[in-house]
Amino acid sequence: MELANTLSQDGESRGGVLAHLERLETQVSRSRKKMEEPQSAQAEESALGTRIHELRRLRDKLRAEVKQHQASVKASTTNVEPDQTLEITEQESLKRKWENVKAILQAYRFTGISGKLTSRGVCVCISTAFEGNLLDSYFVDLVMRKPLQIHHHSIPVFIPLEEISAKYLQTNIQHFLFTLCEYLNAYSGRKYQADRLQSDFEAFLAGPLQRNSLCNLLSFTYKAEPEGQSFPFCARLLYKDLTTTLPTDVTVTYQGSIFF
């Protein structure tokens, strides 16, 4: 369309593209003729030469300006530096603060109950301990909805989670978590004690330690001295209260007669 416009502007309405190409061809042949003339070539040469000089002059001028600017920048770096370092220290202090907060969040597990917000709600971590020894951690992933639901968890199947949630989950979540914490800490403590008895007092045990999943019934035969002629005692420990780590009943027998 542009082509048609240029044609009409020039007043020459002959043909279309082909006519235009013809004109371009004649232009080229004309310019070629010009270039073949040595005089015009020389003139052109000198023109280009002056152009080069000019450009070189301009380049040198710009170079000088750049150098000057750099020198002035260097001179005033003493004024500029504090701002830059201030930026760096701000960044560093923020980073340090962020890492500090992250570390505090990670250390929260030492309090026994900690949690992390999830897309659905919150994932609560119950970390158990006994007599200064850190033991297993258990998780409850809660979905924040009415009614509150447990999405999934790592509570062992023999801990009465359904009972505890039926009682407290909807009404008093704090009580729910504390009760669960009680049960889990007690279980972890009993398990730890049973494991220690089995491993550390192997020499005193006359047979295998009999236990159950909750570690609330322990039955074993032991000797007062690891070697020698001491008589074996049969001990039976019952933990009727699942929230404690101490037995509620202890029976020690010797050859069928009960001591206490």
Residue with tokens 């009465």: 160
In angstroms, the first-to-last Cα distance of the chain is 115
Nearest residue (CB) to other proteins, 128 versus 211: 211
* DSSP SS3 for 155: coil
Answer yes or no whether residue 170 interacts with other proteins by CB under 8 A.
no
Answer yes or no whether residue 6 interacts with other proteins by CB under 8 A.
no
Closest CB 98 distance from other proteins, rounded Å: 13
> Can you tell me the distance from the alpha carbon of 206 to that of 122, in angstroms, rounded to the nearest whole number?
48
Answer yes or no whether residue 128 interacts with other proteins by CB under 8 A.
no
Closest CB 238 distance from other proteins, rounded Å: 6
> Can you tell me the distance from the alpha carbon of 39 to that of 82, in angstroms, rounded to the nearest whole number?
65
Whole-angstrom Cα Rg for the chain: 46
Answer yes or no whether residue 141 interacts with other proteins by CB under 8 A.
yes
Answer yes or no whether residue 105 interacts with other proteins by CB under 8 A.
yes
Q: How many CB atoms lie within 10 A of CB 8?
A: 9
204, HSE (Cβ side, Cα atoms, 13 Å):
14
Segment near other proteins (CB under 8 A); pick from 14-22, 83-91, 147-155, 224-232: 147-155
Stated length of the chain: 260
Answer yes or no whether residue 242 interacts with other proteins by CB under 8 A.
yes
Residues of this chain, 191-220, that bind other proteins according to CB under 8 A: 210-214, 216-217, 219
Answer yes or no whether residue 241 interacts with other proteins by CB under 8 A.
yes
Residue type, 86: L
Residue type, 53: H
Binding residues (CB under 8 A) for other proteins: these are: 102, 105-106, 108-109, 114, 116, 118, 123, 125, 139, 141, 152-154, 157-158, 210-214, 216-217, 219, 238, 240-242
